[in-house]
Amino acid sequence: MTDLPASTDRKLGLVIDLDTCVGCHACVISCKGWNTENYGAPLSDADAYGGDPSGTFLNRVHSYEITPEEGPAQLVHFPKSCLHCEDAPCVTVCPTGASYKRSEDGIVLVNEDACIGCGLCAWACPYGARELDALEGVMKKCTLCVDRIYNNTLPEIDRVPSCVRTCPAGARHFGDLGDPDSDVSQLVAARGGMDLMPEQGTKPVNKYLPPRPKQDRAEDLDSLAPYLAPVAEDQSGFLGWLDKALDRLPGARSDEEMS
């Protein structure tokens, strides 16, 4: 049923740290790999090796530039996958019941056998988290790696989403955001975790940690400066006299003119 559960026992989701993400796209690749080989229809590509490649991805990394009033601009890498919204508009619009939100853990999933591929759920998602697979004709979205996190055949360390497991910068965290004592909830509290597009009223479970204010601006960074002070100050004595004498020769140029 596409009625949303009034509440869910747990709110499993991701916390994405925009301060530490280095924009390497490793999570994009590991997500694509895991979800092509496992749950549901594979994520297809068209013209993968040609001039106009395009394909289905459940997680994509954008890059944004922030220009503050003062100081240098800052680049922020911005991974985006389904935010497993509490008030998921993608679920309620679905005519077939293929889209649903689980009452036990809040994960939003698509039952691909019931999906008619009408695309309306993707229209209803403000974040671009759903993509209709061009080859399979069914809606694909992040499953929060539901086939890993409960998978007892995997070593315990791997029972987290593929993107979380892969991220070399530790920028993606997985946990229960409904439990205020969980690691992820505490991280959100400590770092001022935020919702994307709060005005859309979707109440996303996933949170984003804003980039920390940069302390290491260019002017502070110059740790070698003291050692690089000009060695030759104004010369005195014989060398000073020679310098000036050479300057006065026809054709010689002064330091000012040269600089």
Partner 1 sequence: MHPAPSVIIFTTFSGLGFGLLLFLGLGLPPVTGWVAFFLYAIAYACAVGGLLASTFHLGHPERALKAFTQWRTSWLSREAWLSVAALLVMGIYAFAAVFLDTRLTPVGILGAALSLATVSSTSMIYAQLKTVPRWHHWLTPAHMLGLSLAGGALLAGQMTVAAALLAVAAAVQVAHWQVGDSALARSGTNLASATGLGAPGRVRAFEPPHTGTNYLLREFVHVVGRRHSRKLRLIALTFGYGLPVVLLVIPAAPHLLGALAILSHLAGILASRWLFFAEAEHVVGLYYGKRAA
Binders of partner 1 among residues 25 to 64 (CB under 8 A) are: 25, 28, 52-57, 60-64
Q: For residue 206, give Cα distances in angstroms to 18, 23, 117, 170, 237.
A: 13, 19, 26, 16, 72
The footprint of ligand SF4 on residues 72-131 (CB under 6 A) is 81-85, 88-90, 93-94, 96, 98-99, 108, 110, 115-121, 125, 127, 129-130
The option from ligand SF4, partner 1, none interacting with 85 (CB < 5 to 8 A, set by class) reads ligand SF4
- Output the smallest distance, CB 149 to partner 1, in A: 25
Using CA atoms, how far residue 143 sits from 41, 58, 59, 241, in Å, is: 12, 9, 11, 79
Q: How far apart are CA 13 and CA 105, in angstroms?
A: 9
243, interface contact from ligand SF4, partner 1, none, CB < 5-8 Å by kind = none
Residue 58 binds which of partner 1, ligand SF4, none (CB < 5-8 A, kind-dependent): ligand SF4
Confirm or reject binding of residue 44 to ligand SF4 (CB under 6 A).
no
Nearest to partner 1 of 134, 252 (CB atom): 134
Which of ligand SF4, partner 1, none has residue 200 at its interface (CB below 5 to 8 Å by kind)?
partner 1
> Which partner, ligand SF4, partner 1, none, binds residue 33 by CB below 5 to 8 Å per kind?
none
**91: its two tokens:** 């679920």
Can you tell me the distance from the alpha carbon of 101 to that of 143, in angstroms, rounded to the nearest whole number? Answer: 11
CA distance 255 to 259: 6
Give the nearest distance from C-beta 72 to ligand SF4 in angstroms. Answer: 32
Which residues, 191 to 230, sit near partner 1 by CB under 8 A? Answer: 194-201, 208, 210-211, 213
Write down the residue that tokens 């530039």 correspond to.
65
Taking residues 240 to 259 in sequence order and writing x for each that binds partner 1 by CB under 8 A, - otherwise, the string is: --------------------
129 neighbors 20 (Cβ within 8 angstroms):
no
CA pair distance 170, 21, nearest whole angstrom:
8
* From 93-101, 182-190, 215-223, 228-236, span contacting partner 1 (CB under 8 A): 93-101
Whether the CB-CB separation of 205 and 84 falls below 8 Å is answered with yes
Q: Are 139 and 99 in contact (CB under 8 A)?
A: yes
Residue 16 near partner 1 by CB under 8 A: no
**CB 101, CB 82: distance < 8 Å:** no
3-class SS at 194?
strand
Q: Which of 26, 29, 76, 154 binds partner 1 (CB under 8 A)?
A: 76
Eight-class DSSP state of 196: S
Task: Give the nearer residue to partner 1 in terms of CB position, either 25 or 102.
Answer: 25
CB-nearer residue toward ligand SF4: 18 or 90: 90
